[in-house]
Structure formats: structure tokens, C-alpha cells
Amino acid sequence: MTNCPCGSSRGYTDCCKPLHAGTITAQSPEQLMRSRYCAFVKGETAYIYLTHSPSTRDNISVDSIEQWNAQCHWCGLHIVTCTADESANRVEFIAWYKEDNQLKYHHELSQFKLEPLDSEFQTRLNQIAPEQTNLPAQVWYYYDASYPDKSIALPKRNDPCICHSGKKYKKCCALSN
Ligand SMILES: [Zn+2]
Ligand SMILES: [Zn+2]
């Protein structure tokens, strides 16, 4: 069994798939973060769009997410820290990807908010998971992001691979694809 692309030790079916399929909703900012990263890998762009807070969603579209995502080859997710208390729910992460066969990273501090389930998300959940009759009143949304101003060291050849495969980087994602 291969592990879920989000970097957990479970398979996709037992990890992010039920979120993408609408049978459950994320229970924490970290779970939402992981499932959104995984949605990029799996091309679940509607999920990325709908888990974006309705208050900031009008700047994006499923089409724009798809266009951008088509250029990225995602390699792995690293969660740096999660801060969850009453005042703030933030996840700092590094998403590794390849562009023109060069390893790059996206380093972000995302803010998440628990907000009432909006009608667009609710309609989608009713469509894709009609068996889920007891929808939560509030769900976690990605709200906005800031970008920490510090550079991240690229993996060394003998480091464990950024994709969490358990192999060395040089024997895994360092190889061209
Ligand atoms: Zn996952
Ligand atoms: Zn790898």
C-alpha cells in the first residue's frame, strides 16, 4: 500500500479520500491542510475551491486552480507547525514540487477558520455524498495566507526523501521523471 500523498502513514482511502468524496468533513486545520494539498495532487480542484472560505473565495475559480495545478508536479508536504487556539488557527507548511525538473518549494503560513457551512459547499456535499444527511453546521475553511521570509534548505542527496517514501532523496524524487 502506498501512503496518502499528504504524508500520513495511512493509505489515501483511509485518509484524504473520504474528505474529497464528501463523506466526512475536516475536523481540524491540519486535516484540512493535508487534504487540500492532497487534492492538488489528485486533481480534486472543486474541493480546493469549496474549502476556501466563502468570504475570500470570489478571487479564485475552479478553472484558475486547474490551470495553475496543471503546471505543478507535487513531490511532498511537510507540516512545520500547527497553532490552534481560540485566537488563531494556523498551519505552517512546505509543499515541495518540481518545475522544469528543478525542485522548488512553496512555504506558507495558512490561516483557517471555523465558519458556517455555506450553500455552495452544502450543495456539492448533497450531490456527491447524499448519504451524509447530518451535515455539520460549521466546517473548517482555508481563510488566507502569509509567506514566512526565510529560505528553506533543499534536501541533501542522502536525506530521507521529501515524499515520505522512506527512500533516500537521491534514489527517489531527485531522479528525473
Ligand atoms: Zn491524506
Ligand atoms: Zn521521493
- How confident is the model over 125-149, as pLDDT tens digits? 999 999 988 899 999 999 999 999 9
Q: Which H helix or E strand runs over 139?
A: strand 138-146
DSSP single-letter state for residue 173: T
- Residue 31 CA to ligand 1 center (angstroms) comes to 8
Task: Note the pLDDT of residue 176.
Answer: 74
- Residue 76 CA to ligand 2 center (angstroms) comes to 8
- Residue 80 CA to ligand 1 center (angstroms) comes to 16
Task: Note the pLDDT of residue 93.
Answer: 98
SS3 22: coil
- Residue 49 CA to ligand 2 center (angstroms) comes to 27
- Residue 5 CA to ligand 1 center (angstroms) comes to 6
SS3 8: coil
Sequence-ordered alpha helix ranges (H) in the chain: 17-20, 29-42, 45-50, 62-70, 119-128
Arithmetic mean of pLDDT over the chain: 94
Q: Which amino acid is at 16?
A: C
- pTM to 2 decimal places: 0.94
Q: Mind listing the domains of the chain with CATH numbers?
A: 12-171 (3.10.450.50)
- Separation CA 34–CA 82 (nearest Å): 12
Burial of 166 (0-12, 13-18, 19+ CB in 10 A): exposed
Residue 171: nearest ligand to its CA? Answer: 2
- Separation CA 142–CA 70 (nearest Å): 21
Q: With cut-offs at 50, 70 and 90, classify the pLDDT of residue 161.
A: very high
- Residue 154 CA to ligand 2 center (angstroms) comes to 13
